[in-house]
Copies of this chain bind each other. A is one copy, B any other.
Amino acid sequence: VNSQRGDGQAAIGAPSPDALLPALDERQVATLSQVGHEWDRVSGDPRTWRYVLPVDPDLGSYDAAQFRPTRFGRFVPVAGLGRQPSAVEATSEAETPPSRPGHLGYRLRRALLGPPLAATAIAAERMRKLVALPVLSADALSSVAYGPEAMLAILVLGGSAGIGYSLPVSAGIVFLMFSVCVSYRQTIRAYPHGGGSYIVATDNLGRVPGLIAAAGLMTDYIMTVAVSVASGVAAITSAIPSFTPAVVPIGAGVIVVLLAGNLRGVRQAGALFAAPTYAFIVAIFALVTTGLIDADGRGFHPAPTPRLAATGAVSTLLVLRAFSSGATAMTGIEAVSNAVPAFKPVEWRNARATLTWLVALLITMFASIIALVHLDGVVPNGKETVLSQLAHRSFGSGPMYVYTQAATAAVLLLAANTAYNDFPRVLFLLARSYHAPRLFLRIGDRLAFSNGIIALSVISAAIYVTFGGNTLSLIPLYAVGVFLAFTMSQAGMVVHWWRHRDPHWRKSLTFNATGGVLSTIVFITAGITKFTAGAWVAVLVIGLLVLTALRIRRHYDLVAEAIALHPDAIEIPASAPLTPGSGTTAAPRRQEADGHEAAAPSQDGEQPEQEENPTVIQHLAIVPLAGINLPGMRALAYAASLRHPVLALHISPTEDEANRFRGYWHTWGDHLPLEVIVSPHRAVVAPLVNYIVALHHQRPGLTLTVILPEIVVHHWWQRILHSQTAPRLRRALRPLPKIVVTSIPFHLPR
């Protein structure tokens, strides 16, 4: 089953909207051809009559101008292309829904999202390095706004002695950043088509490690949105404390803006986001420079920290917790290696250069902020962010302070965009390998993975609201997923180098192994030291995601197996009746049913669904009637015009009512057989279903077509004025074999 869907290929390569039509393997092609031969046995040459269509299917000679707005809304035709006689292409207006409110909604959508883009536009939307750097680094660089603070917030629990550990812990983090950068440089070289953790882990370690990496990444992206938004809102409330009570609505509003922006399309959103990232870089460097000049003025003597009461001893555990909290400053580093195909050619070279720049900036900013914190003697407090305190010291409360806070808020609020780039991509890859619902494959008409974007927004908004928008309570959930994905990715790369032995493979393997060991240490540290603080949630979610993905894959495998053309499923028994017109000459069958001779395999209850050959299908049309009226007569006429046997059904509450109906039937002329079911319990759907099931049991070989007259109303509120018998019946009949439901619409005049 795996091979027939090109599984190996699906795991590698750029996301593509194509190849949605599963390829048939040899066995299936042989079966298809064999099925075709069976069809040839249909009496007469089918080409003589089934090809003679009463319409011209090409619509080539069709006059498009004839389509003016009709009462069903504005229909724009599928225009004939002329390229190929039998090709018809849907124009962009083909998306226009027919109903009026739907049409308004469509206009609104186009106004918000812009015109739809054709699939061929996807290659044109590539990024230059100067655009890619801010787009892909927003997440990583903005992490310095909360990473140092998260580290200090743990160390401060150990009082002044704890704060003293900030420099060595930071040095560890900087070393980690450097190693991970070197690691990912190897990955980019090895995976020029995009080396996300999922792809690397699946490729080198196998399916389950790949899913673990994907689950880690997904929690990472969700937390990135929640933490970035929380931290960005904190930058705002640090500057304007009166906004503090509105933290939750402000953050939720930001997520909605991100949602809308990303539905417009990934790359366009990227260009929009270049400005705040550069503004933030400028702000941090100005802040640090000013701070260092001030410190120079006092001879680089650290300012005294406020006297701190230690609430706990300075233990190894505390230092490790601080390390794993501070390590959140490096989240987002992996964004570049995921997005290699989005760079302009040569993709991997540009990506590598961008990654190096990114990490250099990150290390510089992180280290100088820690240095300044040390020099200025700043400690975290619940009311104002550390960055805001530093800015106050460097700039006072003037315009530069406001600029710094605004740039921090902007870059943080927009950093979440990196997650919006990558979360839907992971879901797409999972969906392409049948580990996530197929709806995540669907690319919106702005070439964005709309469903993944919507899913990310909903989940991260829920988490943000649940935690009340508090950055520090979100942090413990954060590190686990990132470093699990890092670990899987680096481990995969080690295996890759070992297997491939490219030039310089030993050096690359060493770099990746170092990065992998460090990532593993951080992952285990984070998982253990913060388990009770919230990491257990992340671990649980990752586990559930992996199980769900495996379950989904199993379902798709079963479906693929079930619907595939394999010889067993469509074998046609040699003894099957091949006489023509089995529908119109049903008389002999009647005798068969009465005489209990129905032993032919096609009528066997054990295999009731082997009905792929038109010659063995025998029809009985069933028309349930509520009364003698136009919709009912229309359904009867439709049934009779099919030229197969027809049975009309009517449900009456009493015998008197039944006789009245029979009287009307007789007036009409008794043209079709009628059965009246008396249902004194006033139920309608259940007796019909039971009767139809009884008919099926009587003749399991028969295909029963239930022809339902349905009144179609114009407004939704009118629907509650009509009994929903038809939809209820359709729902009740769905699980039953060999029962086909046909709806005959009856449109009320306006």
A745 at the interface (CB under 8 A from B): yes
Q: Determine whether the beta carbon of A88 is less than 8 Å from that of B676.
A: yes
Q: Determine whether the beta carbon of A95 is less than 8 Å from that of B702.
A: no
Cβ contact of A50, chosen from B59, B652, B672, cutoff 8 A? B672
Q: A50-B671, A643-B643, A744-B740 are in contact. Are A593 and B681 (CB under 8 A)?
A: no
Name the segment of A239-247, A286-294, A486-494, A606-614 touching the other chain.
A606-614
> Which residues of A36-73 have CB atoms within 8 Å of chain B's CB atoms?
36-37, 39-40, 42, 46-47, 49-59, 62, 66-67, 72
Q: Determine whether the beta carbon of A562 is less than 8 Å from that of B748.
A: yes
Q: A640-B614, A671-B46, A720-B439 are in contact. Are A94 and B683 (CB under 8 A)?
A: yes
Q: How far is the CB of A66 from chain B (nearest CB, A)?
A: 7
> Which residues of A427-478 have CB atoms within 8 Å of chain B's CB atoms?
437-439, 442-443, 445
A78 at the interface (CB under 8 A from B): yes
Q: Which residues of the partner chain B approach A662 to less than 8 Å between Cβ atoms? A: 86
A534 at the interface (CB under 8 A from B): no
A371 at the interface (CB under 8 A from B): no
Q: How far is the CB of A82 from chain B (nearest CB, A)?
A: 13
Q: Count copies of this chain in the complex.
A: 2
Which residue of chain B has the shortest Cβ distance to A48 in the bound complex? B587
Complexed CA–CA distance, A480 and B630 (Å): 44
A746 at the interface (CB under 8 A from B): yes
Cβ contact of A667, chosen from B36, B67, B438, B658, cutoff 8 A? B36
Cβ contact of A637, chosen from B54, B612, B675, B712, cutoff 8 A? B612
Q: How far is the CB of A565 from chain B (nearest CB, A)?
A: 6
A306 at the interface (CB under 8 A from B): no
What 1/0 flags go to A669-700 for Cβ under 8 Å of B? 11111111111111100110111011101110
> Which residues of A558-589 have CB atoms within 8 Å of chain B's CB atoms?
558-559, 562-565, 569-570, 581, 583-584, 586-587, 589
Q: How far is the CB of A622 from chain B (nearest CB, A)?
A: 10
Q: A50-B672, A745-B740 are in contact. Are A612 and B630 (CB under 8 A)?
A: yes
Q: Which residues of the partner chain B approach A443 to less than 8 Å between Cβ atoms? A: 682
A543 at the interface (CB under 8 A from B): no
Q: Which residues of the partner chain B approach A62 to less than 8 Å between Cβ atoms? A: 694, 697-698
Complexed CA–CA distance, A686 and B102 (Å): 12
Complexed CA–CA distance, A249 and B622 (Å): 50
Complexed CA–CA distance, A530 and B735 (Å): 57
Give the contact-size bracket for chain A.
Answer: 35 or more
Q: How far is the CB of A158 from chain B (nearest CB, A)?
A: 44
A747 at the interface (CB under 8 A from B): yes
A35 at the interface (CB under 8 A from B): yes
Q: Determine whether the beta carbon of B669 is less than 8 Å from that of A37.
A: yes
A15 at the interface (CB under 8 A from B): no
Q: Which residues of the partner chain B approach A86 to less than 8 Å between Cβ atoms? A: 662, 674-676
Scoring A59, A680, A682 by chain B CB atoms within 10 A of each residue's CB, the highest score goes to A682
A732 at the interface (CB under 8 A from B): yes
Scoring A90, A669, A720 by chain B CB atoms within 10 A of each residue's CB, the highest score goes to A90
Q: Determine whether the beta carbon of B95 is less than 8 Å from that of A686.
A: yes
> Which residues of A591-637 have CB atoms within 8 Å of chain B's CB atoms?
593-594, 609, 611-615, 617-620, 627-631, 633-634, 636-637
Cβ contact of A627, chosen from B21, B690, B699, B721, cutoff 8 A? B21
Complexed CA–CA distance, A730 and B645 (Å): 26
> Which residues of A702-747 have CB atoms within 8 Å of chain B's CB atoms?
702-703, 705, 711-712, 718, 720-723, 730, 732, 734-737, 739-747
Q: Which residues of the partner chain B approach A78 to less than 8 Å between Cβ atoms? A: 677, 687, 690-691, 694
Q: Determine whether the beta carbon of A77 is less than 8 Å from that of B445.
A: no
A305 at the interface (CB under 8 A from B): no
Q: How far is the CB of A544 from chain B (nearest CB, A)?
A: 13
Q: Which residues of the partner chain B approach A18 to less than 8 Å between Cβ atoms? A: 653-654, 656-657
Complexed CA–CA distance, A62 and B693 (Å): 12
A411 at the interface (CB under 8 A from B): no
Which residue of chain B has the shortest Cβ distance to A76 in the bound complex? B690
Q: Determine whether the beta carbon of B682 is less than 8 Å from that of A17.
A: yes
What 1/0 flags go to A1-32 for Cβ under 8 Å of B? 00000000000000001111111100011001
Q: Determine whether the beta carbon of B563 is less than 8 Å from that of A40.
A: no
Name the segment of A112-120, A164-172, A417-425, A508-516 touching the other chain.
A112-120
Complexed CA–CA distance, A722 and B76 (Å): 28
Complexed CA–CA distance, A92 and B678 (Å): 11
Which residue of chain B has the shortest Cβ distance to A92 in the bound complex? B681
Q: Determine whether the beta carbon of B687 is less than 8 Å from that of A438.
A: no
A552 at the interface (CB under 8 A from B): yes
Q: Determine whether the beta carbon of B723 is less than 8 Å from that of A98.
A: no
A661 at the interface (CB under 8 A from B): yes
Q: Determine whether the beta carbon of B438 is less than 8 Å from that of A722.
A: yes
Q: Determine whether the beta carbon of B669 is less than 8 Å from that of A90.
A: no
A96 at the interface (CB under 8 A from B): yes
Q: How far is the CB of A677 from chain B (nearest CB, A)?
A: 5
A125 at the interface (CB under 8 A from B): no
Q: How far is the CB of A499 from chain B (nearest CB, A)?
A: 33
A505 at the interface (CB under 8 A from B): no
A282 at the interface (CB under 8 A from B): no
A502 at the interface (CB under 8 A from B): no
Scoring A47, A643, A739 by chain B CB atoms within 10 A of each residue's CB, the highest score goes to A643
A301 at the interface (CB under 8 A from B): no
What 1/0 flags go to A101-127 for Cβ under 8 Å of B? 000000000000000101110000000
Q: Which residues of the partner chain B approach A638 to less than 8 Å between Cβ atoms? A: 611, 614, 617, 703, 740
A507 at the interface (CB under 8 A from B): no
Q: A87-B655, A669-B33 are in contact. Are A694 and B59 (CB under 8 A)?
A: yes
Q: How far is the CB of A649 from chain B (nearest CB, A)?
A: 9
Q: Which residues of the partner chain B approach A552 to less than 8 Å between Cβ atoms? A: 721
Q: Determine whether the beta carbon of A628 is less than 8 Å from that of B119.
A: no
Q: Which residues of the partner chain B approach A734 to less than 8 Å between Cβ atoms? A: 712, 743, 745
Which residue of chain B has the shortest Cβ distance to A559 in the bound complex? B748
Q: A443-B682, A637-B614, A686-B94 are in contact. Are A21 and B55 (CB under 8 A)?
A: no
Q: Determine whether the beta carbon of A642 is less than 8 Å from that of B664.
A: no
Complexed CA–CA distance, A669 and B81 (Å): 26
Q: Determine whether the beta carbon of B563 is less than 8 Å from that of A680.
A: no
A641 at the interface (CB under 8 A from B): yes
Q: Which residues of the partner chain B approach A76 to less than 8 Å between Cβ atoms? A: 690
Q: Determine whether the beta carbon of B52 is less than 8 Å from that of A590.
A: yes
Q: Determine whether the beta carbon of A55 is less than 8 Å from that of B647.
A: yes
Q: Determine whether the beta carbon of B21 is less than 8 Å from that of A555.
A: no
3 nearest CB pairs, A to B: A36-B669, A90-B687, A614-B640
Supply 20 A–B pairs (Cβ within 8 Å), ascending by A: A20-B653, A29-B667, A33-B667, A36-B669, A46-B672, A49-B645, A50-B671, A54-B699, A54-B702, A55-B620, A57-B675, A59-B695, A83-B655, A94-B687, A559-B711, A583-B641, A609-B746, A609-B747, A611-B638, A638-B740
Query: Besides the contacts A98-B736, A562-B746, A619-B642, what 10 more A-B pairs have beta carbons closer than 8 Å?
Result: A21-B652, A24-B628, A32-B628, A51-B672, A87-B658, A90-B680, A445-B682, A555-B721, A612-B637, A742-B742
